[in-house]
């Protein structure tokens, strides 16, 4: 089963790499997003799903218990959210920005060895399940807002410089990008808040303390404060457009450090 | 800007007059809240740049003497418990509390008080529609009623001169989201401070058979057994401590404590937190004896302190002492373990043959003995099964219910955001216009304007039912 999982993971990496190239082509050359890009992405996603299912059956435990498995699962969720956003916005350009984020995540899950795992007894809690899943969904929503922010900045620069190139033709309008960025933060923020709350309840159940100021907890708090600032600035100070896009990009950068960086580099209860 | 915000001016938001009033308005402003959030973000970040909880030598090695002095003087070594971090959190908590108190009455009014707008004020809204409907005023009013109810609005109507006014509202509770989240946050912070000041926690180790006292002295706990369960691949599955709670020597409670399952007794929680191999005792050692003539016994197991027969001989071996990290005190000549780590495990074994004591000898794990007696059988120390002491965290936190309440409020407050819940309001005036009806409608929403805009036009276009359109406002 372990060999099968590895083969499926490598296949998904290859598939996403090819899909990234095909998705990026319309932004570089004069061509539309080929149907083959979508077909390839769907096929690769099926392989990705099979790899997770096989890992689940093999380990007998949801694929979020180790650093490597959780990153691979997160990449899967990002692709799920990509499908939802592309369908809702009737746009095929998000993949060009999001798949290059998915690729290093999958490469990491293949090259980082087995990764550190939580003792099974520690993870045996419903609080943990809610904590981990809501964090993954929250991060996935933030990934979309990051992409929308990035697209906004690039497109706004072209418009400001009156260089109406392929990005101008292919990307959604600035208003739509701003809305997508805001709505995904509106969905991601409550999920991320829920993750912090249930994580604290879980920690209190396991270790007798809600908060220990561990590196991961502190980074998560900083990430939460950033998105809190984003929403306050947007609701009350009218921050939209470029400034909101910059905050989205900063927020997701902190999310990645919170999720992947501190699990690998820092010592603490979350270092698994 | 919210749709229609210009027509719905804030109530009672007068300009501050005196210096105290100006200071108060400044303090409860969003600008100050944002600045405080930014300051706490930066301070939290500072704490991540410097390793926390180190000693001076570590900082000197990393930053040099001057850098280490600066780190220690500023309290960067314990940033999240430093006075400046606590002060920043306190100011934020006061700011949130003040903002909440300041804005709550208006939020409650906006959420629950129904507003009535006359046709001229409806026309002033950013999102509006007016049309002449090819139907009687009564038929048009009926269509308006049905349309708003189909959109799950709470609808009320009243007559104002010739005009029949409708006031429809939906999701007013979402106006309180920020208030609820802010209250939850303040309650959580208060709970954290109260728990930090009134609670306590202490890690206590106990070997099986030992009795340890609760740090508050209200009861004792006897460790009956401690097990470390492993998976087939050797990874840790669970740690289980079988405990008996004693009061005045009397057994009052028996319970297994494991990760995720703590024991609660007299407002004290006991958590399975850690474990450690005992440095001067073990469960059993695997030994072998070699005689001077070259004969070697079969390996055999010797539980700590028990005399066991050496296979194939009349001898008995007893392990009398163990040191996981063997050292000799040069003054007392006494052997001891220098640490908890099994860096240099050694045992003292005594051999007896019938009534004859062959003497004791210190033997190192897989490395032979210290000063073996010439001509006497030699013991080989092949392996041992450690005896573990369980690490129990005794904790008392009277603030747990407060923190739970704070969390519950925050969760209740943020979840409506996920479904993009908004406060939608629609005002409609239906007036007679010859044999037909004149419709004037307007709407306002606190966020997600474009979703509301689509719904507004869908509902009002339905009322108009594709008849002649007199004009469409908004954008």
CA pair distance B326, B329, nearest whole angstrom:
10
Range of the domain at A84: 1-117
Is residue B31 within a helix (H) or strand (E), and if so which, with residue range?
helix B30-49
Chain A residues with CB under 8 Å of B410 CB are: 193, 197
B435, pLDDT greater than 50: yes
B470, pLDDT greater than 60: no
Same domain, A170 and A266: yes
- Alpha-helical (H) ranges within chain A are 2-28, 35-59, 67-89, 94-111, 120-123, 126-160, 166-170, 174-207, 215-237, 241-256, 262-265
Nearest CA in chain A to B178: A232
* Of A191, A201, A219, Cβ closest to residue B407: A201
Same domain, A162 and A195: yes
Which is nearest to A253 in space by CA: A43, A120, A76, A101?
A101
* Tens-digit pLDDT profile for residues B130-176: 999 888 899 999 999 999 999 899 999 999 999 999 999 998 888 88
> How many domains would you assign to chain A?
2
* pLDDT band at residue B373 under the 50/70/90 scheme: low
Q: Do B34 and A237 touch (CB under 8 A)?
A: yes
Q: Do B450 and A122 touch (CB under 8 A)?
A: no
User: Is A97 in contact with A149 (CB distance < 8 Å)?
Assistant: no
Sorted by sequence, the CB contacts under 8 Å of residue A247 that are 6+ apart come out as: A149, A226, A229, A230, A233, A239
Same domain, A55 and A144: no
A239, pLDDT greater than 70: yes
B321 versus A31: the higher-pLDDT residue is B321
> In whole angstroms, how far apart are CA A179 and each of A90, A147, B338, B449?
14, 12, 64, 10
Q: Which of A88, A140, A193, A250 to mutate to test the interface with B (most CBs of B within 10 A)?
A: A193
CB of B450 within 8 Å of a chain A CB? The answer is yes
Q: Do B48 and A206 touch (CB under 8 A)?
A: no
Overall average pLDDT of the A215-237 stretch: 84
Q: Which residue among A80, A100, A117 closes a domain?
A: A117
Same domain, A71 and A149: no
The pLDDT, as a whole number, for residue B164 is 95
Which tokens sit at B336?
């001891």
Same domain, A182 and A266: yes
The pLDDT, as a whole number, for residue B5 is 41
* Of A119, A191, A219, Cβ closest to residue B48: A219
Same domain, A158 and A257: yes
* pLDDT band at residue A262 under the 50/70/90 scheme: low
Chain A residues with CB under 8 Å of B193 CB are: none
Chain A residues with CB under 8 Å of B264 CB are: none
Same domain, A133 and A184: yes
CB of A213 within 8 Å of a chain B CB? The answer is yes
* pLDDT band at residue A193 under the 50/70/90 scheme: very high
* Tens-digit pLDDT profile for residues B318-360: 999 998 888 888 888 888 888 777 888 999 999 898 888 888 8
Which tokens sit at A56?
């689940």
Q: Which residue among A85, A117, A149 closes a domain?
A: A117
Overall average pLDDT of the A194-212 stretch: 90
* Of B237, B271, B407, Cβ closest to residue A121: B237
Nearest CA in chain A to B449: A179
CB of B448 within 8 Å of a chain A CB? The answer is yes
Q: Which residue among A117, A138, A159 closes a domain?
A: A117
Same domain, A102 and A234: no
Same domain, A101 and A66: yes
A103, pLDDT greater than 50: yes
> What Rg do the C-alpha atoms of chain A give, in angstroms?
19
Same domain, A184 and A67: no
CB of A253 within 8 Å of a chain B CB? The answer is no
Nearest CA in chain B to A182: B448
* pLDDT band at residue A264 under the 50/70/90 scheme: low
Same domain, A255 and A137: yes
Q: Do A208 and B40 touch (CB under 8 A)?
A: no
Share of chain A above pLDDT 70, in %: 88
Same domain, A160 and A97: no
Strands B127-133 and B471-472 come out as antiparallel
A51, pLDDT greater than 50: yes
Cβ under 8 Å to A: B residues 162-221: 178, 192, 195, 201
Q: Please state the φ and ψ torsions of residue A169, each to the nearest 5 degrees.
A: -75, -40
Cβ under 8 Å to A: B residues 234-293: 235-239, 258-260, 262, 269, 271, 273
Lowest-pLDDT range, A113-117, A134-138, B204-208? A113-117
Which is nearest to A82 in space by CA: A25, A21, A19?
A19
Nearest CA in chain A to B409: A197
B178, pLDDT greater than 80: yes
B475, pLDDT greater than 80: no
**What is the pLDDT of chain A when averaged over all its residues?**
83
* Tens-digit pLDDT profile for residues B17-69: 678 888 888 888 878 888 888 888 888 878 878 887 788 888 898 888 999 99
A164, pLDDT greater than 80: no
- Max avg pLDDT among A20-29, A248-257, A262-271, B149-158: B149-158
Q: Do A201 and B235 touch (CB under 8 A)?
A: no
B369, pLDDT greater than 70: no
Return the half-sphere exposure (C-beta side, CA atoms, 13 A cut-off) of residue A196.
30
Lowest-pLDDT range, A101-105, A257-261, B154-158? A257-261
The pLDDT, as a whole number, for residue B2 is 42
Cβ under 8 Å to A: B residues 376-415: 393, 395, 397, 400, 403-404, 407, 410-411, 414-415
Share of chain B above pLDDT 90, in %: 35
């Amino acid at each position: 089963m372990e060999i099968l999982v590895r083969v499926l993971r490598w296949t998904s990496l290859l598939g996403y790499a090819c899909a990234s190239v095909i998705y990026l082509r319309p932004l570089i050359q004069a061509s539309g997003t080929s149907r083959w890009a979508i077909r390839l992405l769907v096929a690769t996603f099926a392989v990705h799903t099979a790899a997770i299912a096989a890992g689940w059956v093999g380990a007998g435990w949801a694929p979020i218990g180790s650093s490597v498995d959780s990153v691979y699962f997160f990449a899967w969720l990002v692709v799920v959210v990509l499908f939802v956003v592309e369908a809702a916005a009737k746009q095929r350009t998000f993949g060009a920005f999001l798949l290059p984020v998915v690729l290093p995540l999958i490469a990491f899950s293949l090259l980082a060895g087995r990764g550190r795992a939580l003792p099974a007894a520690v993870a045996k809690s419903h609080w943990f399940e809610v904590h981990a899943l809501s964090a993954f969904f929250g991060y996935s929503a933030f990934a979309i807002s990051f992409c929308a922010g990035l697209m906004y900045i690039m497109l706004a620069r072209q418009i400001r410089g009156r260089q109406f190139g392929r990005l101008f033709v292919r990307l959604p309008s600035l208003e739509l990008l701003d809305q997508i960025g805001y709505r995904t933060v509106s969905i991601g923020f409550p999920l991320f808040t829920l993750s912090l709350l249930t994580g604290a309840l879980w920690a209190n159940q396991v270790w007798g303390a809600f908060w220990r100021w561990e590196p991961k907890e502190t980074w998560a708090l900083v990430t939460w404060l950033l998105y809190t600032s984003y929403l306050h600035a947007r609701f009350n100070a009218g921050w939209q457009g470029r400034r909101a896009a910059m905050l989205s990009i900063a927020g997701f950068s902190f999310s990645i450090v919170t999720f992947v960086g501190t699990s690998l580099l820092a010592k603490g209860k979350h270092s698994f | 800007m919210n749709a229609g915000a210009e027509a719905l001016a804030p109530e009672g938001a007068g300009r501050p007059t005196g210096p105290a009033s100006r200071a108060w308005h400044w303090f409860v402003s969003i600008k100050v809240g944002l600045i405080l959030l930014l300051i706490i973000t930066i301070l939290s970040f500072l704490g991540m740049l410097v390793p926390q909880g180190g000693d001076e030598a570590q900082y000197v090695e990393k930053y040099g003497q001057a850098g280490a002095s600066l780190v220690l003087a500023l309290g960067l070594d314990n940033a999240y418990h430093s006075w400046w971090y606590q002060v920043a959190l306190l100011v934020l908590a006061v700011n949130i509390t003040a903002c909440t108190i300041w804005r709550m009455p208006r939020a409650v009014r906006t959420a629950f008080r129904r507003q009535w707008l006359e046709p001229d004020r409806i026309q002033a809204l950013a999102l509006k529609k007016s049309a002449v409907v090819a139907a009687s005023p009564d038929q048009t009013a009926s269509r308006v009623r049905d349309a708003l109810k189909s959109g799950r609005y709470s609808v009320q109507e009243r007559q104002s001169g010739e005009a029949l006014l409708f006031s429809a509202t939906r999701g007013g509770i979402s106006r309180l989201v920020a208030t609820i989240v802010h209250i939850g946050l303040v309650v959580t912070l208060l709970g954290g401070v109260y728990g930090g000041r009134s609670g306590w926690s202490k890690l206590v180790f106990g070997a099986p058979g030992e009795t340890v006292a609760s740090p508050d002295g209200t009861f004792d706990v006897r460790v009956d057994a401690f097990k470390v369960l492993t998976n087939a691949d050797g990874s840790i599955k669970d740690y289980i401590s079988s405990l008996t709670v004693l009061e005045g020597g009397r057994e009052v409670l028996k319970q297994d404590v494991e990760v995720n399952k703590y024991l609660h007794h007299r407002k004290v929680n006991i958590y399975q937190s850690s474990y450690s191999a005992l440095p001067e005792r073990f469960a059993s050692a695997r030994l072998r004896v070699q005689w001077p003539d070259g004969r070697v016994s079969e390996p055999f197991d010797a539980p700590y302190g028990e005399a066991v027969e050496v296979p194939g001989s009349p001898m008995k071996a007893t392990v009398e002492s163990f040191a996981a990290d063997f050292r000799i005190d040069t003054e007392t000549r006494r052997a001891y373990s220098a640490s908890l780590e099994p860096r240099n495990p050694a045992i003292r074994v005594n051999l007896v043959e019938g009534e004859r004591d062959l003497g004791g000898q210190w033997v190192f794990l897989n490395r032979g003995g210290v000063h073996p007696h010439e001509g006497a059988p030699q013991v080989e120390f092949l392996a041992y099964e450690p005896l573990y002491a369980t690490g129990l965290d005794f904790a008392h936190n009277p603030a747990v219910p407060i923190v739970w309440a704070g969390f519950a409020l925050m969760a209740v407050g943020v979840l409506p955001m996920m479904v993009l819940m908004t406060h939608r309001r629609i005002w409609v005036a239906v007036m007679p216009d010859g044999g037909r009806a004149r419709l004037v409608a307007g709407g306002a929403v606190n966020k997600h304007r474009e979703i509301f805009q689509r719904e507004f036009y869908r509902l009002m276009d339905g009322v108009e039912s594709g008849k002649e359109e007199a004009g469409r406002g908004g954008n």
